[in-house]
Chain A
Amino acid sequence: MSSGGAVPREGIAERISRWLVWGSGALLLACAVLVTLDVLTRKLFRVTFFESVELSQYAFAITISLSLAYALTAKTHIRIDAAFPLFGRKLRAVLDVIAILAMTGLAAGFAYYSWQVTAQTFNMPGRLLGAASASSLQFPIVIPQAIWAIGFTWFFLVCLLYLVRSAWALARWDISTVDALVGIPSMVSELEETRAELDQVRSETGSR
């Protein structure tokens, strides 16, 4: 295999991240169904049944944070590599590790502060489990918030795993492992990936 952004082999962390994304997608689709039903019943009977606005807001927050780790393993999070052709392979590997270090820091921040908000909500006065939403649902906000915080925490753990693995590889000057873990997908590999995806779409849909 050529270097330059082969997606790392699917281990347990990658597999869990993929399952989370499948679940998030299903949740998103369920939201689309609920919102659609609410729009239709609002037009036809002038009532809304499902409080779909509120529920889809919570679902949205959950799907974002649960999908962050998959986007990391799939190398979707964006880095600018316009200047990278000017650098040597070793310098690039060092920059790769610095980048994942910064990302781990960001993820740690989000994880910490998302739990802080969850704790605040929990400690607010309410009937059950802290503050409830102001709507007729009176939904205990702490539930979606906690799942949201779990998503950030998982993202932080996967970042940390990638940081440790890539830093260890860098310490042994194993450049290609660093690249495979956290490198920027090169234009060539990105083209190949897009092509493979499109081929797959074509074969699935049986067109041309």
Chain B
Amino acid sequence: MVILALAVLVVLVTGGVYIAAVLGLLGAFLGEFFAFFPLLRAVGNISWTASTDFVLVSVPLFILMGEILLRSGMAEDMFESLDKWVNWMPGGLMHTNIASCAMFAATSGSSVATAATIGTVSIPNIERRGYNPPLFLGSLAAGGTLGILIPPSINMIIYAVLTETFVGDLYLAGLIPGILLAAMFSVVILIACLYKPSLSGTRTLASWSDRLTALRHLIAPIVLFVIVVGSIYAGVATPTEAASLGVIGSLILALARRRLTWLSLLRSFEGTMKTTAMVMLIVLAAFFLNFVLTNIGVTRFIDNYMKGLDISPLLGILAIVLLYLILGMFMETLSLMIATLPIVFPVAMALGFDKVWFGVLFIVLIEAALITPPIGMNLFVVQAIREKGPFRDVVIGSLPFLVAMLVLIGLLIAFPELATWAPEAVRAARS
């Protein structure tokens, strides 16, 4: 039964049927033929419950916040300011790319938005200051992926809802690995440029007075981070409340900078709602499939089967990592997440892993999927902004950063505390 279901799934997915339709129809099929009582009748109630999930309300709000911030021009000032602080290192602007992506990620829940925003600001400098295109573009595609690891993160919210994990824990758990990954990206650039100085373009050394005056441009992103993520950490706001504060904050910022027109607001609405509708249709279908899988005993079967297999947790997690590296080459990341979690999450739990820890590892795997060819959204976005030159450049330039991600995965497996320490420390401090 499981084999048959998987085969149908693979055929429909590779046949290009809409992911939401595949999940929903598979659920209906399994429910009709393998359940003892009609499960289809539950579709309405399940969908209404998921459609009114208060945590999920934060998803469109975070997307809207990103759409407004993209148009606010905040990223340009932030970029200039960070540039004065990190440009002196071998690799120059590429460190600015990473630092800006990391900082923007602290106000944005999306990797694509992060890569698009920072890329738009940074890419004109490739020719202007004579950088090696591949590594420069790679730093943007990879740096952008930090958007979903450094909180806030839309993908973490969806993981949290699908696996009944607390969003605040995931946001705390993602912070240290996120900063670590950003630092490792910088180390990659540093090593590459020390080994081959021609990769770097002209660098500039800013004076200390310049650096200090530039700090005022970092106030806006820091305030937004404190409002949005800080309020979740402090336990004073739910993710949806925090996202609402973020929307209003970014709206005030855009208005203060006179960057918001009615037309751009309508465009923000279009961008926000079409993405939300796409995500939520898949989520609704996945919720129903999940319900069917649990009801006909597949979830229990996986649990028993995994325990019966008696493979070591390490081997199991390495197999999961390998599976996602391969799937990530071909699948768009959100559908990859939502379509596979109902099966893979029970497996990871049966292996005895912590769900917050697995969430962070999972997000890093999704980041890798964003920059592995042939299908990698961040590669596409960076290439789109660049306008000319071969796509190959972006792909090759991203590979060194993929290695950094694999190292982080290794570190997370070897030292789970990297992810689990922060949420546990905060919980201990609160109680």
Instruction: For B71, give its contact among A58, A71, A113, A204 (CB under 8 Å).
Output: A204
Cβ-closest chain A residue relative to B112: A194
Min CB gap B278→A, angstroms: 5
| Complex Cα–Cα for A60 and B161 (A) | 15
Cβ-closest chain B residue relative to A73: B274
**Contact across chains for B384 and A78 when beta carbons are under 8 A apart:** no
Report if A145-B24 is in contact (Cβ < 8 Å); known contacts: A60-B56, A71-B278, A102-B18.
no
Cβ-closest chain B residue relative to A21: B273
| Complex Cα–Cα for A50 and B122 (A) | 43
**Contact across chains for A18 and B44 when beta carbons are under 8 A apart:** no
Cβ-closest chain B residue relative to A208: B124
**Contact across chains for B64 and A61 when beta carbons are under 8 A apart:** no
**Contact across chains for B19 and A28 when beta carbons are under 8 A apart:** no
Cβ-closest chain A residue relative to B72: A205
**Contact across chains for B51 and A187 when beta carbons are under 8 A apart:** no
**B240 sits at the interface (CB 8 A):** yes
Interface SS majority for chain B: helix
Instruction: For A39, give its contact among B51, B61, B71, B244 (CB under 8 Å).
Output: B244
Chain A residues contacting B44 (CB-CB under 8 Å) are: 113-114, 116-117, 120
**Contact across chains for B383 and A24 when beta carbons are under 8 A apart:** no
Instruction: For A25, give its contact among B43, B268, B335 (CB under 8 Å).
Output: B268
**Contact across chains for B273 and A80 when beta carbons are under 8 A apart:** no
**A76 sits at the interface (CB 8 A):** yes
Cβ-closest chain B residue relative to A70: B274
Chain B residues contacting A68 (CB-CB under 8 Å) are: 277, 281
Chain A residues contacting B218 (CB-CB under 8 Å) are: none
Chain B residues contacting A122 (CB-CB under 8 Å) are: none
Chain B residues contacting A89 (CB-CB under 8 Å) are: none
**B175 sits at the interface (CB 8 A):** no
Instruction: For B273, give its contact among A31, A39, A67 (CB under 8 Å).
Output: A67
**Contact across chains for B334 and A28 when beta carbons are under 8 A apart:** no
**B14 sits at the interface (CB 8 A):** yes
Cβ-closest chain A residue relative to B284: A110
**B248 sits at the interface (CB 8 A):** yes
Min CB gap B18→A, angstroms: 5
Min CB gap A75→B, angstroms: 9
Contact with A along B261-288 (1 / 0, CB 8 A): 1011111111111111110111011000
**Contact across chains for B266 and A22 when beta carbons are under 8 A apart:** yes
Min CB gap B87→A, angstroms: 19
| Complex Cα–Cα for A194 and B115 (A) | 12
| Complex Cα–Cα for A161 and B362 (A) | 39
**B17 sits at the interface (CB 8 A):** yes
Contact with B along A173-206 (1 / 0, CB 8 A): 0000000000010010011101101101110110
- Which of B178-186, B346-354, B373-381, B400-408 has 4 or more CB atoms under 8 Å from chain A? B373-381
Chain B residues contacting A96 (CB-CB under 8 Å) are: 16
**Contact across chains for A198 and B384 when beta carbons are under 8 A apart:** yes
**Contact across chains for A25 and B124 when beta carbons are under 8 A apart:** no
Chain A residues contacting B41 (CB-CB under 8 Å) are: 113, 116
Interface residue total, chain B, C-beta cutoff 8 A = 84
Chain B residues contacting A102 (CB-CB under 8 Å) are: 12, 17-18, 21-22, 25
**B30 sits at the interface (CB 8 A):** no
Cβ-closest chain B residue relative to A68: B277
| Complex Cα–Cα for A65 and B15 (A) | 26
**B385 sits at the interface (CB 8 A):** yes
**A126 sits at the interface (CB 8 A):** no
Contact with A along B236-253 (1 / 0, CB 8 A): 110011011101100100
Instruction: For B237, give its contact among A39, A70, A84, A148 (CB under 8 Å).
Output: A39
Min CB gap B429→A, angstroms: 21
From A26, A32, A197, name the one whose CB has the most chain B CB atoms within 10 angstroms.
A32
**B134 sits at the interface (CB 8 A):** no
Report if A58-B52 is in contact (Cβ < 8 Å); known contacts: A110-B47, A205-B73.
yes
**B305 sits at the interface (CB 8 A):** no
Instruction: For B16, give its contact among A67, A76, A79, A106 (CB under 8 Å).
Output: A79
Instruction: For A82, give its contact among B14, B243, B269 (CB under 8 Å).
Output: B14
Report if A109-B273 is in contact (Cβ < 8 Å); known contacts: A64-B280, A148-B48, A191-B383.
no
| Complex Cα–Cα for A57 and B237 (A) | 16
**Contact across chains for A74 and B274 when beta carbons are under 8 A apart:** yes
**B103 sits at the interface (CB 8 A):** no
Contact with B along A29-55 (1 / 0, CB 8 A): 101110110110001000000000100
**Contact across chains for B272 and A39 when beta carbons are under 8 A apart:** no
**Contact across chains for B270 and A22 when beta carbons are under 8 A apart:** yes
Chain A residues contacting B124 (CB-CB under 8 Å) are: 208
**Contact across chains for B57 and A24 when beta carbons are under 8 A apart:** no
**Contact across chains for A76 and B278 when beta carbons are under 8 A apart:** yes
**B361 sits at the interface (CB 8 A):** no
Instruction: For B48, give its contact among A53, A114, A192, A208 (CB under 8 Å).
Output: A114
**Contact across chains for B48 and A117 when beta carbons are under 8 A apart:** yes
Chain B residues contacting A26 (CB-CB under 8 Å) are: 269
Min CB gap A140→B, angstroms: 14
Cβ-closest chain A residue relative to B57: A60
Report if A195-B70 is in contact (Cβ < 8 Å); known contacts: A64-B51, A106-B20, A106-B25.
no
**A98 sits at the interface (CB 8 A):** yes
**Contact across chains for A28 and B17 when beta carbons are under 8 A apart:** no
Cβ-closest chain A residue relative to B64: A28
**Contact across chains for A194 and B381 when beta carbons are under 8 A apart:** yes
Report if A76-B277 is in contact (Cβ < 8 Å); known contacts: A18-B270, A22-B270.
yes
12 sampled A-B residue pairs with Cβ under 8 A: A31-B61, A32-B64, A77-B277, A78-B18, A80-B13, A83-B15, A102-B12, A114-B44, A114-B48, A148-B48, A190-B380, A204-B263
Interface, chain A (partner B; CB < 8 A): 18, 21-22, 24-26, 28-29, 31-33, 35-36, 38-39, 43, 53, 56-58, 60-61, 63-65, 67-68, 70-71, 74, 76-84, 92, 95-96, 98-99, 102-103, 105-106, 109-110, 113-114, 116-117, 120, 145, 148, 184, 187, 190-192, 194-195, 197-198, 200-202, 204-205, 207-208
